Amino acid sequence: MKPTKYIAALAVIAITTPAFAGGTFNLTGSTAFRSAVCNTLKAKFAAGGNYQYGHDQAAGSLTSCNYAIFTGTFPGITGTTTIRCCFTGSVEGVRSLVLGASDTYATYYPSTAVLTTAASSTGGETASIGSGGNVTAVANIAFSDVSKASTPYSGAALDKGDPMGVIVFTMLTNNGSPITNVTSQQYRALLTQGYQPQSMFTFNPADPYYVFAEGRNDSSGTRTTALAETGYGITTPVNQYITTAHSGTAISTIKLTPAASAYSSTVWGQDQAGNGGYTSGGSVRGDFQWTGASVNVQDDQGNTVLSGAQVNLVTWIGATDAGKVIGAGNAKLCAYNGVSLDLSNVQNGNFSANDIAKIQNGSYTAWGYERLYVASGQYAGDVKSITDGLLGSVNAQLAPNIASNQGIDMSTMNVSRQTDGGLVAP
C-alpha cells in the first residue's frame, strides 16, 4: 500500500485527467472469470479488424494473465480503442469502481510503448510483459463473481450489475491425497481451525494425518462464494495456510497466513493471522501439484509447530484453475457434498455433458453468477458500447456453446438462485 501523501497526489492527478483520454478504458475484477473475459475481448477486437494485445504470461497463455492490454478497433467505437485489464479479484474490483480516482489497488499497463508486435487480422501478441511500469488509473468496468450486496460496498452507487454467466467452482486436493469428497460441514470445520484430522475425510479412525486449508484473501469472489455457499459466513474470519517451500514434487513447508503481509485480507478490515490468502486462483493451484509426505508446519511467525508430518491440502477454487492442474494429472478433484464434476477430459479441463447437466439442473451447487458492474455515471458513450459488447458476446465463450470450463451460458440454466449461496431451485 502506498503512503497517504502519495495516494492523495495520485487522486489529484486522476481527477484532473479526463477518464477516457486517448480512447483508453480500464477493466478489473474477477480472476476466476478472466479466461472468458480475455477470449471475449479477443473475439470483439478481431471482429473490428486488425488489433494487438499483450499480457504478463508466456506466449499463448493470455487466459492466465494478471495484466493485459488490447488495442485496435472495437465494434461500435470510432477510431482506436485501448482496453487495459488488471485482474485483482471480484470484491477488489467492486472496491476499485467505488473508490474511483482514490483507488490504488488496481494498476494498468501504460497505454503506449508496450506492444512490440505488428497488428494482424488475427492479433499480434506480445507476451511476458513486466508490470514494473504500471500506472494507477480510474477503473471503468469490473467483473465480479458475487453481487455488490456480498461486499462492504452494498450501498454504493454502481451501474449495471447484470448477471452475464454462471461461474463454477470445485473442491480440490493435492497430488497424492486420499480425499475424494468435501462436504460443506467439513469445509466449515476446516476453515474454523485451519486444519482437521484426515480421518474426518477418509472415515478411517486410524488415519494419523492432517488436512490443512489453503485459499484466497477477502478480495476474492471465489472466497466469498465459498463462504456463502457452505454457510460459513462471508465476513467470518477463516484460518488458512500458504505453501512457502517445496522440493521437487513435494511440499516442504506450509505456514499460517501472517497479518500485515502480501497475503492479508483488508477489504472487511480483518487483517489478522490466518484470515489471509492468495491473490489469485493461479497462485493457489500451483501448490496442489505437489505431494505432502514430509512437511514442516509453521505458525504465522514462522515457528515450526509440526515437523516432518504427512499432510494434505484442500481448497475451493474456480473450475478453470482446477482444470489446468487436474488435466495434467497434478492434483485431485474432489466431489462437493457428494456430487463431482469431471474436468479431466483435456489438458486444460472442460465440462462434459454430464457436468453441464448437473449444474443446469441443480444437483451441483458450487456456482454463482458472474456480474458486470460499471462505475457510477459511466454507462454511456464508448463505455456503454464496450459494456454492451461484452454482455452480448460472453456467452459464446461459455458451455455448452463451446467445450470449455469457463462457465455456463445462463440461458441454458433450468435452476437459479436469488442471492450468493442462496437456495438453488427451478
Residues 56 and 195 in one domain: no
Count of domains observed in the chain: 2
Q: What is the pLDDT of residues 348-369, one digit of tens each?
A: 678 999 999 999 999 999 999 9
Residues 380 and 340 in one domain: no
Q: What is the pLDDT of residues 9-42, one digit of tens each?
A: 333 333 333 344 349 999 999 998 999 999 999 9
Nearest alpha-carbon partner for 65 in 142, 16, 144, 130 = 130
| Domain annotation covers residue 425 | no
Read off the CATH number of the domain in which 178 is found. 3.40.190.10
Q: What is the pTM of this model?
A: 0.89
pLDDT for 345 equals: 67
Low-confidence spans in the chain with pLDDT less than 50: 1-22
pLDDT for 325 equals: 87
Range of the structural domain that residue 257 is part of: 167-367
Q: Contact 53/124 with Cβ under 8 angstroms?
A: yes
pLDDT for 121 equals: 84
Residues 154 and 173 in one domain: no
Residues 89 and 209 in one domain: no
Q: Contact 335/298 with Cβ under 8 angstroms?
A: no
Residues 249 and 390 in one domain: no
Query: DSSP letters of 10-45?
Result: HHHHHHTS-TTGGGEEEEEE-STTHHHHHHHHHHHH
pLDDT for 19 equals: 40
